[in-house]
Structure 1
Amino acid sequence: MAKLFKILACCAVLLFVTGCAAPKAGNTDYTAFKQSRPASILVLPPLNESPDVNATYAMLAQMTLPLAEAGYYVLPVALVDETFKQNGLNSASDIHGVDREKLREIFGADAVLYVTVTKYGSSYVVVDSVTEVAAKATLVDLRSGETLWAGAGRASSSEQSSGSSGGGWVGILVSAAIKQMTNHLSDASYGYAGITSVRMLSAGAPGRILYGPHSPRYGTD
């Protein structure tokens, strides 16, 4: 039943991903990125700054898709995670502390993606229950140690339009309480983690990661 709730939550929130605005352009410098030309990316388990222990693996499980669609080979995250565990590294903080050259030696990837989850979960805000996920990422060249790109993404249930609730203030409060309980039982944050991953790691918009060599759009951005 919990798995069914999770699937339904993912489907519901993904319906409005495509309608969201692209990130602001900013002043992203792609010089190092274009010189590096990474083809393969090692994704490390994200650091978790939220109070929810599910955040790290909820994000990790959903970051491969946007990177693969952008044209990169992504080392299988489950295999990478197991490799770290077999070598006594069980926390994301320990893994993020591994020397760059060691990562290159073991996995052979061109670049490594460091991600930090800054928000993950549902909170009760007087008249509503808001589910929010936010994360930031940095792509580093494993050969030179140079930072190639940095970006961020977020998704929230508050983006969805909310209709009026019958029953006045009492009805609104009861509705919010029920929504909060449902969000926790179904892990609604998991679906928003997927949206956050797509917004943060998809190519094709100003400020985003560049297309990789396995994309037909490689070199056009």
Structure 2
Amino acid sequence: MKISIRLMVTAMSIALLSGCASKPQTAFDYTHLKESKPRSILVLPPLNKTPEVRASYSMLAQVTHPLSESGYYVMPVTLVDETFKENGITEASDAHALPSAKLREIFGADAALYITMTQYGTVYKVLDSATTVTAEARLVDLKTDKLLWTGRATASSAEQQNQQQGGLAGLLIAAIVKQVIGTVSDQSHPMAGLASQRLLKAGRVDGLLYGPRSPLFVKEP
């Protein structure tokens, strides 16, 4: 009996040590962000890698709130967009290609946020349809050109959907109806808002640190 107990304890210890050894290190290195301490952020027009033309501006319209709540001053996105257009820069890719020094000279911001939309829209599946928005971002110091932070976030209507009843025919009809409604009424917009919160609100694991305007400034998430 004693031998069996010892074997069980040994097995549990090995399993525990193995779990600890294989646990991934996911913490982001905030060294450059802590050194930079950006107070103001310039949000560039998001790159759109989705088929939906609304994706870029849907996200752009909703990034100020989470960044401001996190303690940063955000350059007015409408003013920034108009400034680009007045200078002949109408494509997000062209804005993203501008040198950091030039962006700082024009806008005077400490850092620039580069966002890329990889998913936006309602997708029809065999028995369901879901509206999904995914965005990636990187924050760059405009004085040193150093990468300060990167992140990725997704929001989907599937998170809130309950199991549908009514048999196979009912599931198919419900999926088609949800896709039509989602496409016509742009259900992706509120999902973009949720994705922007998840992506840019400080205090999350591997998320942005709180900015100088926040009482939680310098504290890691």
**Aligning the two structures, in what range does the TM-score lie when normalised by the shorter sequence?**
0.7 to 0.9
Equivalent in the alignment of 1:207:
206
Aligned-pair CA distance for 1:183: 0.3
Equivalent in the alignment of 1:131:
131
TM-score by length of 1: 0.87
Counterpart Cα distance in 2 of 1:84 and 1:212: 26
Aligned-pair CA distance for 1:219: 1.5
**Residue 217 (str. 1) matches residue 194 (str. 2):** no
SS of residue matched to 1:53: coil
Matches within 5 A, 1:51-200: 51-166=51-166, 168-200=167-199
**1:212 alignment partner AA:** G
Aligned-pair CA distance for 1:165: 2.2
**2:151 alignment partner AA:** G
Counting matched residue pairs gives: 197
Contact 1:25/1:206 (8 A) holds in 2: no
SS of residue matched to 1:79: helix
**2:56 alignment partner AA:** T
Point out where structure 1 has 5 or more consecutive residues left out of the alignment.
1-23
Equivalent in the alignment of 2:9:
none
Contact 2:210/2:216 (8 A) holds in 1: yes
TM-score by length of 2: 0.87
Aligned-pair CA distance for 1:205: 2.1
**1:182 alignment partner AA:** I
Equivalent in the alignment of 2:41:
41
Point out where structure 2 has 5 or more consecutive residues left out of the alignment.
1-23
Residues 6-59 of structure 1, C-alpha deviations (whole Å, 9 max, x = no match): xxxxxxxxxxxxxxxxxx971310011000010000000100111111000000
Residues 142-175 of structure 1, C-alpha deviations (whole Å, 9 max, x = no match): 0000000001110111111413322x21111111
Contact 1:133/1:155 (8 A) holds in 2: yes
Please report the RMSD computed on the Cα atoms of aligned residues, expressed in angstroms: 1.2
Equivalent in the alignment of 1:13:
none
Contact 2:27/2:205 (8 A) holds in 1: no
SS of residue matched to 1:133: strand
**1:84 alignment partner AA:** F
Tell me which of the two structures has the higher relative contact order, counting C-alpha pairs closer than 8 angstroms and 6 or more residues apart.
Answer: 1
Q: Give percent identity, aligned residues only.
A: 53
Aligned-pair CA distance for 1:129: 1.1
Counterpart Cα distance in 2 of 1:73 and 1:119: 27
SS of residue matched to 2:134: strand
